[in-house]
Chains A and B, each alone.
Chain A
Protein backbone atom coordinates (compact mmCIF):
# COMPACT_ATOMS: atom_id res chain seq x y z
CA UNK A 1 0.00 0.00 0.00
CA UNK A 2 2.46 2.65 1.17
CA UNK A 3 5.29 1.29 -0.98
CA UNK A 4 3.21 2.39 -4.00
CA UNK A 5 4.16 5.92 -2.99
CA UNK A 6 7.90 5.30 -3.24
CA UNK A 7 8.06 5.91 -7.03
CA UNK A 8 6.20 9.18 -6.42
CA UNK A 9 8.80 10.34 -3.90
CA UNK A 10 11.49 9.38 -6.38
CA UNK A 11 9.66 11.22 -9.15
CA UNK A 12 9.43 14.43 -7.08
CA UNK A 13 13.14 14.25 -6.27
CA UNK A 14 14.01 13.57 -9.90
CA UNK A 15 11.76 16.44 -11.00
CA UNK A 16 13.61 18.80 -8.67
CA UNK A 17 16.90 17.39 -9.96
CA UNK A 18 15.95 17.89 -13.62
CA UNK A 19 14.91 21.48 -12.91
CA UNK A 20 18.12 22.16 -10.99
CA UNK A 21 20.17 20.48 -13.71
CA UNK A 22 18.62 22.67 -16.41
CA UNK A 23 19.38 25.79 -14.36
CA UNK A 24 22.89 24.48 -13.76
CA UNK A 25 23.48 24.00 -17.48
CA UNK A 26 22.28 27.55 -18.12
CA UNK A 27 24.68 28.86 -15.48
CA UNK A 28 27.52 26.73 -16.86
CA UNK A 29 27.19 27.46 -20.58
CA UNK A 30 25.73 30.96 -20.50
CA UNK A 31 27.90 34.08 -20.17
CA UNK A 32 28.01 35.87 -16.80
CA UNK A 33 28.82 39.55 -17.28
CA UNK A 34 26.63 41.53 -14.87
CA UNK A 35 26.59 45.32 -14.76
CA UNK A 36 24.46 47.65 -12.69
CA UNK A 37 22.16 48.65 -15.57
CA UNK A 38 21.51 45.06 -16.53
CA UNK A 39 20.70 44.10 -12.95
CA UNK A 40 18.22 46.91 -12.33
CA UNK A 41 14.52 45.98 -12.24
CA UNK A 42 12.53 46.49 -15.45
CA UNK A 43 10.16 49.44 -15.33
CA UNK A 44 9.74 50.23 -19.01
CA UNK A 45 13.12 51.94 -19.26
CA UNK A 46 12.77 54.25 -16.23
CA UNK A 47 14.64 53.97 -12.96
CA UNK A 48 12.58 52.04 -10.41
CA UNK A 49 10.62 54.50 -8.28
CA UNK A 50 10.53 52.60 -5.00
CA UNK A 51 10.71 49.12 -3.57
CA UNK A 52 8.36 46.78 -5.38
CA UNK A 53 7.07 45.07 -2.22
CA UNK A 54 4.27 47.56 -1.93
CA UNK A 55 0.72 47.62 -0.64
CA UNK A 56 -1.71 45.67 -2.76
CA UNK A 57 -5.43 45.29 -3.21
CA UNK A 58 -7.29 43.71 -0.29
CA UNK A 59 -9.38 41.70 -2.77
CA UNK A 60 -6.52 39.27 -3.21
CA UNK A 61 -6.84 38.43 0.49
CA UNK A 62 -10.56 38.00 0.07
CA UNK A 63 -10.08 35.57 -2.81
CA UNK A 64 -7.53 33.65 -0.75
CA UNK A 65 -9.90 33.35 2.22
CA UNK A 66 -12.82 32.29 0.03
CA UNK A 67 -10.54 29.76 -1.63
CA UNK A 68 -9.65 28.22 1.74
CA UNK A 69 -13.36 27.89 2.62
CA UNK A 70 -14.35 26.32 -0.69
CA UNK A 71 -11.32 24.09 -0.83
CA UNK A 72 -12.33 22.71 2.56
CA UNK A 73 -15.77 22.11 1.12
CA UNK A 74 -14.17 20.12 -1.72
CA UNK A 75 -12.15 18.19 0.84
CA UNK A 76 -15.45 17.15 2.47
CA UNK A 77 -17.07 16.37 -0.89
CA UNK A 78 -14.35 13.99 -2.10
CA UNK A 79 -14.91 11.13 0.38
CA UNK A 80 -18.67 11.65 0.17
CA UNK A 81 -18.61 11.31 -3.63
CA UNK A 82 -16.53 8.13 -3.53
CA UNK A 83 -18.94 6.27 -1.20
CA UNK A 84 -22.21 7.84 -2.33
CA UNK A 85 -23.62 4.49 -3.53
CA UNK A 86 -23.15 2.91 -0.11
CA UNK A 87 -24.50 5.72 2.07
CA UNK A 88 -27.63 6.15 -0.05
CA UNK A 89 -30.36 8.72 0.49
CA UNK A 90 -29.38 9.62 4.06
CA UNK A 91 -25.83 10.51 3.07
CA UNK A 92 -27.12 12.47 0.10
CA UNK A 93 -29.53 14.52 2.20
CA UNK A 94 -26.88 15.18 4.86
CA UNK A 95 -24.45 16.53 2.26
CA UNK A 96 -27.20 18.61 0.67
CA UNK A 97 -27.79 20.28 4.06
CA UNK A 98 -24.05 20.99 4.33
CA UNK A 99 -23.95 22.33 0.76
CA UNK A 100 -27.06 24.41 1.47
CA UNK A 101 -25.38 26.13 4.43
CA UNK A 102 -22.33 26.89 2.30
CA UNK A 103 -24.48 28.14 -0.56
CA UNK A 104 -26.12 30.58 1.87
CA UNK A 105 -22.61 31.86 2.67
CA UNK A 106 -21.81 32.01 -1.03
CA UNK A 107 -24.96 34.03 -1.75
CA UNK A 108 -24.08 36.36 1.12
CA UNK A 109 -20.61 37.10 -0.24
CA UNK A 110 -22.03 37.49 -3.74
CA UNK A 111 -24.60 40.09 -2.62
CA UNK A 112 -21.95 41.80 -0.45
CA UNK A 113 -19.87 42.28 -3.60
CA UNK A 114 -16.89 40.20 -2.51
CA UNK A 115 -16.73 38.69 -6.01
CA UNK A 116 -16.70 42.03 -7.85
CA UNK A 117 -13.53 43.26 -9.55
CA UNK A 118 -14.10 46.72 -10.95
Chain B
Protein backbone atom coordinates (compact mmCIF):
# COMPACT_ATOMS: atom_id res chain seq x y z
CA UNK B 1 0.00 0.00 0.00
CA UNK B 2 1.18 3.48 -0.80
CA UNK B 3 2.56 5.25 2.27
CA UNK B 4 2.64 9.03 2.54
CA UNK B 5 3.78 11.46 5.24
CA UNK B 6 0.88 12.57 7.43
CA UNK B 7 0.48 14.58 10.58
CA UNK B 8 -1.77 13.09 13.25
CA UNK B 9 -4.49 15.44 12.03
CA UNK B 10 -4.17 14.14 8.47
CA UNK B 11 -4.01 10.54 9.67
CA UNK B 12 -7.22 10.89 11.68
CA UNK B 13 -8.93 12.58 8.75
CA UNK B 14 -7.73 9.79 6.49
CA UNK B 15 -9.20 7.19 8.88
CA UNK B 16 -12.63 8.83 8.68
CA UNK B 17 -12.30 9.24 4.92
CA UNK B 18 -11.46 5.55 4.52
CA UNK B 19 -14.35 4.46 6.73
CA UNK B 20 -16.88 6.81 5.14
CA UNK B 21 -15.87 5.40 1.77
CA UNK B 22 -16.11 1.76 2.92
CA UNK B 23 -19.25 1.95 5.03
CA UNK B 24 -22.24 4.11 4.02
CA UNK B 25 -23.49 3.89 7.63
CA UNK B 26 -20.55 5.93 8.94
CA UNK B 27 -21.60 9.52 9.67
CA UNK B 28 -19.47 12.29 11.17
CA UNK B 29 -20.83 15.26 13.10
CA UNK B 30 -20.05 17.68 15.91
CA UNK B 31 -19.41 21.35 16.52
CA UNK B 32 -17.76 23.02 13.50
CA UNK B 33 -16.86 19.68 11.90
CA UNK B 34 -18.93 20.19 8.73
CA UNK B 35 -18.32 23.08 6.37
CA UNK B 36 -15.39 24.48 8.33
CA UNK B 37 -13.70 21.09 8.76
CA UNK B 38 -13.18 21.25 12.52
CA UNK B 39 -11.29 23.70 14.72
CA UNK B 40 -8.26 21.38 14.39
CA UNK B 41 -8.92 20.62 10.68
CA UNK B 42 -9.45 16.93 11.43
CA UNK B 43 -12.64 16.71 9.34
CA UNK B 44 -11.53 19.07 6.58
CA UNK B 45 -12.98 18.18 3.18
CA UNK B 46 -15.23 15.39 4.41
CA UNK B 47 -18.45 17.33 3.95
CA UNK B 48 -17.46 18.40 0.44
CA UNK B 49 -16.64 14.80 -0.45
CA UNK B 50 -19.52 12.93 1.22
CA UNK B 51 -22.27 15.51 1.46
CA UNK B 52 -24.10 17.19 4.30
CA UNK B 53 -26.06 14.07 5.25
CA UNK B 54 -22.82 12.22 6.05
CA UNK B 55 -20.78 15.02 7.66
CA UNK B 56 -22.49 17.95 9.32
CA UNK B 57 -22.30 20.71 11.90
CA UNK B 58 -24.07 20.27 15.24
CA UNK B 59 -25.49 22.65 17.83
CA UNK B 60 -23.26 23.37 20.84
CA UNK B 61 -24.68 20.59 22.96
CA UNK B 62 -22.42 17.74 23.98
CA UNK B 63 -25.31 15.83 25.53
CA UNK B 64 -27.28 16.34 22.34
CA UNK B 65 -24.44 15.20 20.11
CA UNK B 66 -23.78 12.01 22.05
CA UNK B 67 -27.49 11.33 22.68
CA UNK B 68 -28.21 11.68 18.97
CA UNK B 69 -25.33 9.34 18.18
CA UNK B 70 -26.77 6.72 20.54
CA UNK B 71 -30.13 6.95 18.75
CA UNK B 72 -28.44 6.71 15.35
CA UNK B 73 -26.48 3.70 16.55
CA UNK B 74 -29.73 2.07 17.67
CA UNK B 75 -31.07 2.63 14.16
CA UNK B 76 -28.03 0.96 12.63
CA UNK B 77 -25.68 3.79 11.73
CA UNK B 78 -22.08 4.01 12.87
CA UNK B 79 -21.67 7.60 14.07
CA UNK B 80 -18.27 9.17 14.67
CA UNK B 81 -18.87 12.30 16.71
CA UNK B 82 -16.54 14.96 17.98
CA UNK B 83 -16.48 16.77 21.30
CA UNK B 84 -14.39 19.85 20.57
CA UNK B 85 -12.23 19.47 23.69
CA UNK B 86 -12.18 16.56 26.15
CA UNK B 87 -12.67 19.28 28.79
CA UNK B 88 -16.21 19.72 27.47
CA UNK B 89 -17.47 16.15 27.56
CA UNK B 90 -19.02 16.61 31.02
CA UNK B 91 -22.47 17.68 29.77
CA UNK B 92 -22.58 14.39 27.83
CA UNK B 93 -21.64 12.29 30.88
CA UNK B 94 -25.17 10.92 31.37
CA UNK B 95 -25.44 9.87 27.74
CA UNK B 96 -21.99 8.25 27.83
CA UNK B 97 -22.18 6.52 31.21
CA UNK B 98 -25.88 5.70 31.57
CA UNK B 99 -26.74 5.13 27.95
CA UNK B 100 -23.99 4.39 25.42
CA UNK B 101 -22.03 2.23 27.87
CA UNK B 102 -25.04 0.25 29.11
CA UNK B 103 -27.30 -0.09 26.10
CA UNK B 104 -26.10 -3.52 24.99
CA UNK B 105 -26.06 -4.85 28.56
CA UNK B 106 -29.41 -3.54 29.72
CA UNK B 107 -31.21 -4.65 26.55
CA UNK B 108 -29.40 -8.02 26.51
CA UNK B 109 -28.06 -7.22 23.05
CA UNK B 110 -31.41 -6.04 21.64
CA UNK B 111 -29.88 -2.61 20.95
CA UNK B 112 -26.23 -1.55 20.66
CA UNK B 113 -24.28 1.70 20.46
CA UNK B 114 -21.52 1.25 17.87
CA UNK B 115 -20.36 4.84 18.24
CA UNK B 116 -16.98 6.56 18.39
CA UNK B 117 -16.58 9.76 20.36
CA UNK B 118 -13.46 11.69 19.38
CA UNK B 119 -12.08 14.18 21.90
CA UNK B 120 -8.87 16.23 21.66
CA UNK B 121 -7.22 15.97 25.07
CA UNK B 122 -4.07 16.73 27.03
CA UNK B 123 -1.98 19.75 27.90
CA UNK B 124 1.33 21.32 27.03
CA UNK B 125 -0.25 23.94 24.78
CA UNK B 126 -1.00 26.75 27.24
CA UNK B 127 -4.60 25.64 27.15
CA UNK B 128 -5.33 26.49 30.75
CA UNK B 129 -8.03 24.83 32.78
CA UNK B 130 -10.54 23.91 30.07
CA UNK B 131 -8.35 23.10 27.07
CA UNK B 132 -5.80 20.77 28.68
CA UNK B 133 -7.48 18.09 30.74
CA UNK B 134 -6.89 14.35 30.49
CA UNK B 135 -10.16 12.80 31.71
CA UNK B 136 -9.40 9.18 30.73
CA UNK B 137 -9.89 7.87 34.27
CA UNK B 138 -13.48 9.09 34.22
CA UNK B 139 -14.07 6.74 31.27
CA UNK B 140 -11.98 3.75 32.31
CA UNK B 141 -14.13 3.48 35.44
CA UNK B 142 -17.24 3.00 33.28
CA UNK B 143 -18.17 -0.58 32.39
CA UNK B 144 -19.06 -1.04 28.73
CA UNK B 145 -16.95 1.57 26.99
CA UNK B 146 -13.52 1.39 25.47
CA UNK B 147 -10.97 4.15 25.94
CA UNK B 148 -8.24 4.58 23.35
CA UNK B 149 -5.40 7.11 22.91
CA UNK B 150 -2.82 7.10 20.10
CA UNK B 151 0.65 8.63 20.30
CA UNK B 152 1.56 8.91 16.61
CA UNK B 153 -0.03 9.23 13.15
CA UNK B 154 0.31 5.57 12.17
CA UNK B 155 -1.42 4.32 15.31
CA UNK B 156 -3.92 7.19 15.21
CA UNK B 157 -5.30 6.10 11.86
CA UNK B 158 -5.20 2.38 12.54
CA UNK B 159 -6.75 2.73 15.99
CA UNK B 160 -9.45 5.10 14.77
CA UNK B 161 -10.45 2.68 12.00
CA UNK B 162 -10.57 -0.14 14.56
CA UNK B 163 -12.64 2.03 16.89
CA UNK B 164 -15.14 2.95 14.19
CA UNK B 165 -15.48 -0.69 13.16
CA UNK B 166 -15.85 -1.85 16.75
CA UNK B 167 -19.42 -2.49 17.88
CA UNK B 168 -18.80 -1.12 21.39
CA UNK B 169 -18.84 2.60 22.19
CA UNK B 170 -15.29 3.95 22.02
CA UNK B 171 -13.91 7.11 23.61
CA UNK B 172 -11.14 8.13 21.26
CA UNK B 173 -8.81 10.60 22.98
CA UNK B 174 -6.46 12.57 20.72
CA UNK B 175 -3.49 14.31 22.37
CA UNK B 176 -3.70 17.65 20.57
CA UNK B 177 -0.10 18.38 21.61
CA UNK B 178 0.86 15.59 19.17
CA UNK B 179 -1.37 16.75 16.31
CA UNK B 180 1.49 18.34 14.34
CA UNK B 181 4.56 16.61 15.66
CA UNK B 182 5.95 14.52 18.52
CA UNK B 183 6.56 16.43 21.75
CA UNK B 184 9.08 15.35 24.38
CA UNK B 185 8.37 18.06 26.93
CA UNK B 186 11.23 20.35 25.88
CA UNK B 187 9.01 23.34 25.20
CA UNK B 188 12.01 25.57 24.71
CA UNK B 189 13.18 23.65 21.63
CA UNK B 190 11.60 23.83 18.16
CA UNK B 191 8.98 21.17 17.48
CA UNK B 192 9.94 18.61 14.86
CA UNK B 193 7.09 17.96 12.42
CA UNK B 194 5.73 14.46 11.79
CA UNK B 195 7.15 14.61 8.27
CA UNK B 196 10.60 14.20 9.85
CA UNK B 197 9.55 11.11 11.74
CA UNK B 198 9.07 7.53 10.53
CA UNK B 199 5.77 7.19 12.42
CA UNK B 200 4.51 10.00 10.23
CA UNK B 201 4.58 7.59 7.29
CA UNK B 202 1.02 6.39 7.00
CA UNK B 203 -0.59 4.01 4.48
CA UNK B 204 -3.15 5.84 2.35
CA UNK B 205 -5.78 3.10 2.38
CA UNK B 206 -7.43 0.82 4.91
CA UNK B 207 -5.48 -0.83 7.73
CA UNK B 208 -6.10 -1.36 11.41
CA UNK B 209 -4.21 -1.32 14.67
CA UNK B 210 -6.04 -3.76 16.95
CA UNK B 211 -7.68 -2.60 20.17
CA UNK B 212 -6.54 -4.10 23.48
CA UNK B 213 -3.01 -4.33 22.11
CA UNK B 214 -0.18 -2.36 23.65
CA UNK B 215 3.01 -1.62 21.77
CA UNK B 216 6.53 -1.93 23.10
CA UNK B 217 7.48 1.52 21.90
CA UNK B 218 11.09 1.05 22.88
CA UNK B 219 12.56 -2.19 24.16
CA UNK B 220 14.78 -1.99 27.24
CA UNK B 221 16.01 -4.05 30.13
CA UNK B 222 16.29 -1.74 33.16
CA UNK B 223 12.76 -0.65 33.94
CA UNK B 224 9.30 -0.88 32.40
CA UNK B 225 7.46 2.39 31.83
CA UNK B 226 3.73 2.10 31.22
CA UNK B 227 2.35 5.19 29.53
CA UNK B 228 0.30 6.56 26.61
CA UNK B 229 -0.25 9.69 24.53
CA UNK B 230 2.21 12.58 24.77
CA UNK B 231 4.00 11.00 27.71
CA UNK B 232 5.33 8.23 25.47
CA UNK B 233 7.59 10.85 23.86
CA UNK B 234 8.46 12.52 27.15
CA UNK B 235 9.45 9.14 28.58
CA UNK B 236 11.62 8.30 25.59
CA UNK B 237 13.41 11.60 26.05
CA UNK B 238 13.83 11.03 29.81
CA UNK B 239 15.32 7.58 29.18
CA UNK B 240 17.74 9.01 26.66
CA UNK B 241 18.81 11.83 28.96
CA UNK B 242 19.27 9.62 32.03
CA UNK B 243 20.91 6.80 30.11
CA UNK B 244 18.51 4.33 31.74
CA UNK B 245 17.52 1.53 29.38
CA UNK B 246 13.76 1.80 29.88
CA UNK B 247 11.30 -0.47 28.12
CA UNK B 248 8.50 1.90 27.15
CA UNK B 249 5.03 0.45 26.71
CA UNK B 250 2.55 2.59 24.81
CA UNK B 251 -0.80 1.23 25.99
CA UNK B 252 -2.77 2.62 23.00
CA UNK B 253 -5.93 1.01 24.38
CA UNK B 254 -6.20 2.35 27.91
CA UNK B 255 -9.13 0.17 28.93
CA UNK B 256 -9.76 -2.67 28.29
CA UNK B 257 -6.00 -3.04 28.03
CA UNK B 258 -3.32 -5.50 27.04
CA UNK B 259 -2.26 -6.87 30.43
CA UNK B 260 -0.05 -9.58 28.96
CA UNK B 261 2.43 -7.16 27.40
CA UNK B 262 2.69 -5.23 30.68
CA UNK B 263 3.20 -8.29 32.87
CA UNK B 264 5.72 -9.85 30.53
CA UNK B 265 7.76 -6.66 30.49
CA UNK B 266 7.69 -6.01 34.25
CA UNK B 267 8.62 -9.61 34.99
CA UNK B 268 11.62 -9.08 32.74
CA UNK B 269 12.78 -5.66 33.97
CA UNK B 270 11.55 -6.16 37.58
CA UNK B 271 10.91 -2.43 37.92
CA UNK B 272 8.03 -0.27 36.89
CA UNK B 273 7.17 3.39 36.42
CA UNK B 274 3.71 4.61 35.41
CA UNK B 275 3.44 7.97 33.65
CA UNK B 276 0.42 10.08 32.68
CA UNK B 277 -0.52 13.73 32.31
CA UNK B 278 -3.79 13.36 34.20
CA UNK B 279 -3.99 14.28 37.86
CA UNK B 280 -2.58 11.74 40.27
CA UNK B 281 -5.24 10.75 42.79
CA UNK B 282 -7.60 8.09 41.44
CA UNK B 283 -6.03 8.63 38.04
CA UNK B 284 -5.66 5.68 35.67
CA UNK B 285 -2.12 5.22 37.01
CA UNK B 286 -3.61 3.91 40.25
CA UNK B 287 -5.25 1.07 38.34
CA UNK B 288 -1.99 0.35 36.51
CA UNK B 289 -0.12 0.24 39.83
CA UNK B 290 -2.68 -2.18 41.21
CA UNK B 291 -2.47 -4.45 38.19
CA UNK B 292 1.32 -4.57 38.30
CA UNK B 293 1.31 -5.16 42.06
CA UNK B 294 -1.27 -7.97 41.73
CA UNK B 295 0.42 -9.66 38.81
CA UNK B 296 4.15 -9.02 39.35
CA UNK B 297 4.59 -8.66 43.13
CA UNK B 298 7.22 -11.37 43.52
CA UNK B 299 9.21 -10.05 40.57
CA UNK B 300 9.43 -6.44 41.73
CA UNK B 301 12.70 -5.13 43.12
CA UNK B 302 11.52 -1.62 43.88
CA UNK B 303 8.27 0.20 44.65
CA UNK B 304 6.29 1.10 41.57
CA UNK B 305 6.81 4.78 40.75
CA UNK B 306 4.13 7.07 39.43
CA UNK B 307 4.59 10.36 37.57
CA UNK B 308 1.39 12.32 36.98
CA UNK B 309 -0.08 15.78 36.84
CA UNK B 310 -0.44 17.38 40.24
CA UNK B 311 -3.82 17.19 41.99
CA UNK B 312 -4.78 20.68 40.91
CA UNK B 313 -6.75 22.12 38.02
CA UNK B 314 -4.56 22.65 34.96
CA UNK B 315 -2.97 26.11 35.35
CA UNK B 316 -2.12 28.53 32.58
CA UNK B 317 1.01 30.53 33.42
CA UNK B 318 2.61 27.64 35.33
CA UNK B 319 2.21 25.23 32.40
CA UNK B 320 5.78 23.83 32.55
CA UNK B 321 5.86 23.54 36.30
CA UNK B 322 2.69 21.46 36.03
CA UNK B 323 3.32 19.34 32.91
CA UNK B 324 5.23 16.16 33.86
CA UNK B 325 8.26 16.78 31.66
CA UNK B 326 11.39 14.69 31.02
CA UNK B 327 13.05 15.91 34.20
CA UNK B 328 10.30 14.60 36.48
CA UNK B 329 10.04 11.36 34.55
CA UNK B 330 13.82 10.99 34.60
CA UNK B 331 13.88 11.44 38.38
CA UNK B 332 11.30 8.67 38.74
CA UNK B 333 13.34 6.39 36.49
CA UNK B 334 16.35 6.97 38.73
CA UNK B 335 14.33 6.31 41.88
CA UNK B 336 13.06 3.08 40.38
CA UNK B 337 16.66 2.07 39.67
CA UNK B 338 17.52 2.72 43.31
CA UNK B 339 19.66 5.77 42.62
Q: A and B bound?
A: no
Interface residues of A (CB under 8 A from B): none
| Chain B residues near A (Cβ < 8 Å) | none
